[in-house]
Structures are given as structure tokens and as C-alpha cells.
Structure 1
Amino acid sequence: MRSMSVSIVWFRNDLRLGDNPALIAGLGSGRAVVPVYVLDEEADGVRAPGAASRWWLHHSLLSLDASLRALGSRLVLRRGPAEQAIAGLAAETGAEVVYWNRIYDQGSRERDARLKTSLGERGVRAESLKANLLFEPWEVKTLSGDPFKVFTPFWRACRNLPSPGHPLPAPKALPAPESWPSSDTLASWRLLPTSPDWAGGLRATWTPGEAGALARLTDFLDDTLERYRQDRDLPAVEGTSRLSPHLAFGEIGPRQIWRAATARGHSAATEKFLAELGWREFA
């Protein structure tokens, strides 16, 4: 029997199953899917995460792996420069294609371009997709073709574009490779604080992971959205969405938030909240 060909899905700041174009592309390729996360603390220009971010990352990866295992898959963990790790994994698995969702800072764009070139030289196709913005940077330009420097005209231009599409559903199953490549253990990365364990406040306040992000969004829409316009700047009031860390790790996507908010109806509060999502992309 002919062995099933392999695709790699490289998770980065998109630690979710829902509305994940790279994951859906891997599934749609008809190949076995090898999901991977690379902890890259060595590449030029990479800023190591702080202690609280490391705590969050540990729990977010734990949640993602559990979700993948429920689909018959798992999350492969590698540590080191991402270009080397992804190229090495492609060689180990005989992968024919690597999918990832785009990151937009200069260093990441340059690294991704180098990786696409090096993979292509090895006969491996690489495809990047849009998952972490409502509007691509090249879609929102001034009449002269330059980036906007003031938010109000930027947001007006965004609102004149077609609305973001519907979020992609999470897959119900993922085809596994015939044999899994080696993986680090999450514990070996030692992301959690130990001596002392100062993370009690984080554990009591936050629930990292996709399920926690979706629950946080529902709570915000149910309890806070209608007061958001006037309460968001009041420190003594819980008037914000508290979605920022979930968005930063990609446990929820902006398109999911947009659709859930607009489904509640259009109001001044909703429009202000959507504009704050726009600020995230403008900044």
C-alpha cells in the first residue's frame, strides 16, 4: 500500500483550531497533517518571551495539544531557530508542503521569505495564509498608495472594504502520519515558574487556550459590550473585553470576534468595539 504523503502545519501566534486557514489548508490538501510549534529563542531579532508570557504559552500549548489529540492528531514540539526546525522536520517526514499563517513584523516576514525559498529549493512547497488580521496591510492604502498615518481615515477605508468573511469551522478530524516524528516534551521547556511559584494570581484570573478565549468573548458580549463605549477607560470598572492576551497568542481570531460582535446587532457600543479591533491593526 502506498504511504500517505505529508503536510506540515506550523502553528505560531494562532494557537487555535477554529478559523485557522493554515490548518484547514493542511486538511484540504488530502495529506496527513503534522502540526508543529517551534519555540524559537535563538534567531536574530527574536525577543524571548517574559515570564508571564511563558506561563501563558505553556497552558495554551497544553490546551492546543489536547484539542488536536481529540481529533486523532497531536502537537509536535521543536526548539531552536525556526528556519532550521521547519526545514529539518520537512526532511524527516518527507513533507511535500508546509502551511503557516502570516505574521507581519519585518523580522518574521524576512525569515518566512527565506524559509519559503529554502524549502522550494528542496522541492517542498510553502504557503502562507491570512488568519490574524481583519484586513491585509496591502488592502488598506491611501489614494497615493501609501500606508495611512492617521487612524480615522484608516478605519474609514477599512469600513469601505467588504466585511471580513465568515470564520472557518474547526476540523472534526485530522489524518495522522503513519509514524510521528520526535517531539520535545512541554515540561522539558520549563516555561512555568517553580521557585517561587508566583503564578497563583494568573491561574485565578485567566484561562489560557481556545476554550477560555471563546468563553471570555461570550462573557464580554453578554455582560460588558453595551457599556463598553463609556466604561472601557475607567480603571475601577471591568469595562474592557480582556481578550488581548487571547488575541496575542491567537487562541481566537479577529474575524471570530468581528462576527460574534456584529451578530449581536449594530450599536454605538459595537461600532466602538470594532474600531478598537481596527486600532490593533493600525498600530
Structure 2
Amino acid sequence: MPTALVWFRNDLRLDDQPALQAALAQGYAPVPVYIHAPDEAGPHANGAASDAWRHRSLHALDGALRARRSRLTVLRGPTLPALERLAAATGAEAVFWTRRYEPAFEQRDTTIKRALRRGGLHAESFNGALLIEPWDVATKQGDPYRVFTPFWKTASAQLRKPRPWDAPKRLPAPPEAADATTIDALGLAPKRGWDHDFWTQWFPGEIGARAALTTFLPRIAAYPDARDVPAIEGTSRLSPHLHFGEVSVQRVFAAIGDADAPPEARAAYQRQLGWREFAHHLLHHFPHTVDRNLDPRFDDFDWAPFDAVQFDAWTRGRTGVPIVDAGMRELWHTGWMHNRVRMLVASFLTKQLRMHWSHGARWFMDTLVDADLANNTLGWQWVAGTGADAAPYFRIFNPLLQAKRFDPDAAYVRRWVPELGTPRYPAPIVDLAETRDAALAAYKRRG
């Protein structure tokens, strides 16, 4: 039976895995492989929290493969020569993988595909991460969208009901690779165990992803209102599972569509999946936005000089603004932050402290277990007002009013800021009214 390499990346699952499906459908015995090549991610690689998650997710994938009599072959990069050596050693005739949309990976994967084909291998990539490819949605003029609502209207009209593919019950045993290493040898797990608290709340891997989806489905009816309340489990908490591809977005979209909930509630969550699609649409078409503004009118905006003391207070949850501090502490202890609170802490950094959004974006990429370049870039530029936004005003969230509205009993704040109201809690590092006025003045100067 001929063999094919199935190259796993951020698609760490066997269920609804199009690269694996293609290998089996075309009559190949799949050789699952993961290649560790962090240098190839460019300057915007995911950070320590993501590495900690990946370590556990890779172990989960290897366990799932071994339960089917296969296993994950782990190699070190560079990627192209690693694939070529493994193909030669196993006699593979083909290499299959699912696409990634980060600029560094899009360029690298194109080079790899061409080189493999020149070498006589059948090389093919598939959409395993999105509902619709970024290049399949365009305005009537053929341009990429910059505003979400018309994007989602066009994209959703093209969607068809997903028909996810079930994971195989058995797989052929792959041959040994002489230069294979182990998952533990990659050094992804933190040496000092600072991530210990993460795993009281998270279960990386395909089983954990399906459990999170199953837990969320009965709560969909309450989702439109509950999603904004940080003190309760009102969101799906699927973001890291989706980022690492432990569950397919097609599977999630189909499950939500079939859920026993009002149509408007199901549509509200599917719309959030639409925002994820939009983020990848923007990243593909405007790759420069990982560093620079989507809206060039903000290129000369009067950002304040970077203040290391204030930034440190923000990262440590010591700003003296309770809901901001609660969010930053939740992030530090769990590797995650509620989406409403993400907007508030980002607004505080970019508006009240008036620091460039890239400082916060880098911190999130290092500390979030769901750090995703597309979503992170969209989110920070949306809050900063420099990105895809139809709103004709300079959005500034008032953290005190937001806390009163979405955490009226202070249940969320008191969980993460137990010293609130005591001498141990600091005074605000800035005056919220004064800094808001200063931000608006800077906006007016921009023109």
C-alpha cells in the first residue's frame, strides 16, 4: 500500500481532518508527522502560553493515533528538508496538509509545495480551519472587505450546510523514522510549571474540544445576553480549541445550527464565528496589519511615548481600575480572558494610556492560550480604532460604567481582585476623565 505524509500543524485532530481524509480517500497509508520549526513562524510566533497548550495537544493527538495503531512522528525543522527526508525514508508518494493563513506560513507553504512537486511528490493542501477561504469572498468590485457586516452577508450567503467527516476507527502503523524526536524533547512545556493553574480549567486536545462544545450546546439560548457577563460561563470557551484545530469550525458551525435553541441565538453565535472568518480574511489580504494600521489615516496618530512603569502596571493587574486589573489577572492565572473584558483592557491601554496597540497585541500573543494572529490583530486594531471599523467615532470604553453594566454585583472583579477596598489596592495610575479627553484631543488633531 503506498504511503503519504499527513503533515499536522494547527489542525491537531483526527475528526473532520481534510488532509487525513484525502490521504485515505486516495488509497494511501498515512504517516502522521509534526515538524517543530519555530523560527519559520517569523516575528509574530505564538508565545509561551500557546507553547504550553501545544505540548499537551500534541500528546493528545499522539494518544488518539496510538489508540488507532498509528503514532505521531515528531521531527525538527527546517520543514522542507525534514519532509523530504521522511518521504524518502518511508517511500511516501504524497504530502497532504491543511492551510494556515499567517503571512509567514502562506509564503513558506507555497515554497514547500513547489519544491515537493519539483521533487516528484504529489503535494496538496486543504481548507481545514475556516468556513470559507479568504479569497472566495469579495465585493462587487472584486476587492476584499474592510467592514464586517457586508463581509458576513456575502460570506454567509455562500455557505452550505457542513457535512463533517468522522475520524477513522483504525489506521495503518507507520514506519519508524530514524531522526524522529519526542514531544517532550521539543521543550514546549514550561520548566517552572507556571502554567499549573491553566489545567484546572482547560483540557487541551480533541476530547477536550468536543467536551467544551457539548457543554456549551445547552446554553446557546442564553448566549446573546450571557456572553457579555464575565462572572458566568456564558461563552463557549472554544477559542483555543479552534485555534489549534482540535475541533473543526465546520463541526462547530453544524452543531450550533442543529442545536435546540431559538434561531436568533444560534445566529448570534454563528456570527461570532463569522468574525473569526473576517479576521483571517483581513490577515490574508492585508498582511501588513500585523505591524501597521489598516487605516492609514492613523499612521501619524499622536501615541504617547511607551511608559514601562505604566505598561508593567497594566500587565500585572495593578492599574487601580478594578475591572481592568481583574481581566489582566485572569489572563495571567488562566491563559484566557473574557472577550468583553479583553475590549476593556485594550481600550484602557490604547486610549487611557494612549500606548500603541502593538504593545498590547504582543503581550496577548505571549500570554493567551488562544493567541491567534488573525483574531488578535483584528481585535486590537478594532479597539484602537485603526482597523476594520465602520463606526465614525473614536471608541473609548469607560471601564467603570462597563463594570457597572456587565458586572453589577462585582462578582468577577472580587474573584480576581480580592484586596479591592483595602489599603493594599492601588489608586488609579491615571485619571480616566483627563486621559479620555486627551485621547479625544489627539483624535481631533489627527484630522
TM over 0.5: yes
Distance 2:41 2:256 in 1: 39
Structure of higher CA gyration radius: 2
The residue matched to 2:173 in structure 1 has which SS? coil
Structure 2: any 5+ residue segments left out of the alignment?
Answer: 280-447
Distance 1:193 1:106 in 2: 27
Contact between 2:40 and 2:104, CA under 8 Å: does it hold in 1?
no
For residue 199 of structure 2, the aligned residue among 185, 203, 207 is: 203
Contact between 2:131 and 2:159, CA under 8 Å: does it hold in 1?
no
Distance 2:94 2:144 in 1: 33
1:239 maps onto 2:228 in alignment: no
The residue matched to 1:57 in structure 2 has which SS? helix
The residue matched to 2:32 in structure 1 has which SS? strand
Residue 27 of structure 1 deviates from its aligned partner by 1.4
Residue 281 of structure 1 deviates from its aligned partner by 0.9
The residue matched to 2:165 in structure 1 has which SS? coil
Distance 1:8 1:46 in 2: 28
Contact between 1:226 and 1:270, CA under 8 Å: does it hold in 2?
yes
Contact between 1:6 and 1:34, CA under 8 Å: does it hold in 2?
yes
For residue 58 of structure 2, the aligned residue among 52, 61, 76 is: 61
Partner of 1:17: 14
**Higher mean displacement: 253-262 or 164-173:** 164-173
For residue 36 of structure 2, the aligned residue among 18, 34, 39 is: 39
Distance 2:84 2:137 in 1: 33
- For residues 130-149 of structure 1, the aligned pairs below 5 Å read 130-149=127-146
Aligned residue identity for 1:247: L
Residue 72 of structure 1 deviates from its aligned partner by 1.3
Aligned residue identity for 2:250: R
Distance 2:8 2:161 in 1: 22
Partner of 2:259: 264
The residue matched to 1:34 in structure 2 has which SS? strand
Partner of 1:169: 166
Residue 175 of structure 1 deviates from its aligned partner by 2.1
Distance 1:31 1:244 in 2: 32
**Higher mean displacement: 39-48 or 203-212:** 39-48
Contact between 1:10 and 1:37, CA under 8 Å: does it hold in 2?
yes
For residue 82 of structure 1, the aligned residue among 74, 79, 83 is: 79
Distance 1:57 1:87 in 2: 24
Give a deviation string over 1:129-188, Cα, whole Å, max 9, x none: 1111001112211111111111111111122114242111111211234x3213211121
Give a deviation string over 1:185-236, Cα, whole Å, max 9, x none: 11211222233x22221110100000000000010112x2111111212222
**Coordinate RMSD, CA, aligned:** 1.5
The residue matched to 1:127 in structure 2 has which SS? strand
Contact between 2:18 and 2:98, CA under 8 Å: does it hold in 1?
yes
The residue matched to 2:56 in structure 1 has which SS? helix
TM-score, normalised relative to structure 1:
0.93
Distance 2:226 2:41 in 1: 41
Partner of 2:99: 102
Partner of 2:356: none
**Higher mean displacement: 4-13 or 186-195:** 186-195
The residue matched to 1:78 in structure 2 has which SS? strand
**Higher mean displacement: 91-100 or 260-269:** 260-269
Number of matched residues? Answer: 277
Contact between 1:9 and 1:98, CA under 8 Å: does it hold in 2?
yes
For residue 121 of structure 1, the aligned residue among 118, 126, 129 is: 118
Distance 1:165 1:11 in 2: 22
> Relative to total residues, which structure has the larger helix share, 1 or 2?
2
The share of aligned pairs that are identical, in percent, is 47
1:253 maps onto 2:228 in alignment: no
Distance 1:160 1:272 in 2: 16
Contact between 2:32 and 2:71, CA under 8 Å: does it hold in 1?
yes
Distance 1:67 1:174, change over 3 A: same
The residue matched to 1:217 in structure 2 has which SS? helix
Runs of 4+ in structure 1 deviating by more than 3 angstroms, as ranges, are: 46-49
Contact between 1:31 and 1:175, CA under 8 Å: does it hold in 2?
no
